Amino acid sequence: MAFLLYQLSILPNAVNNAIARDYNERFGLRVPEWRMLAALGRFGPNSANGVCDQTAMDKVTVSQAMNQLSKKVLIERKASEIQAKSSAISRTPELP
């Protein structure tokens, strides 16, 4: 039984690594970047803190992903109308 529990515990990592490798090869995206794009696609535009909550990633990881996705022109950042120090992040119109 312990061996089965061990196998079940490593299965998500194996699947995640396979997906990460594929996304990196096909689209040049790292795991945090495609997680952020997936969250924005599912939930719509959001703040960095909102993306942290939706993806269970920390602020540093989200910030780094935002910077990379901005360089690749896959997301847009606009000043938030609600919070002065916040940005509204959304996927660019070119993304499906």
- Which CATH number fits the domain that encloses residue 19? 1.10.10.10
Q: Please, where are the H alpha helices in the chain?
A: 2-27, 31-43, 48-55, 59-71
Total number of domains constituting the chain: 1
At 18-64, the pLDDT tens digits run: 988 998 999 899 999 999 999 999 999 999 999 999 999 999 999 99
Is residue 6 in some structural domain?
Answer: yes
Is residue 96 in some structural domain?
Answer: no
What is the residue whose two structure tokens read 């194996």? 14
Is residue 41 in some structural domain?
Answer: yes
Q: Tell me which residue of 20, 42, 34 sits closest to 68, measured CA to CA.
A: 34
Query: pTM of the prediction?
Result: 0.77
Distance, CA of 33 to CA of 52 (rounded, Å): 12
Angle ∠(71,35,56) on CA atoms, nearest 5: 120
- Domain around 59: 2-91
Region 78-92: what's the mean pLDDT? 75
Is residue 33 in some structural domain?
Answer: yes
Q: What is the mean pLDDT of the chain?
A: 88
Is residue 11 in some structural domain?
Answer: yes
Is residue 43 in some structural domain?
Answer: yes
pLDDT band at residue 82 under the 50/70/90 scheme: low
Distance, CA of 7 to CA of 68 (rounded, Å): 34
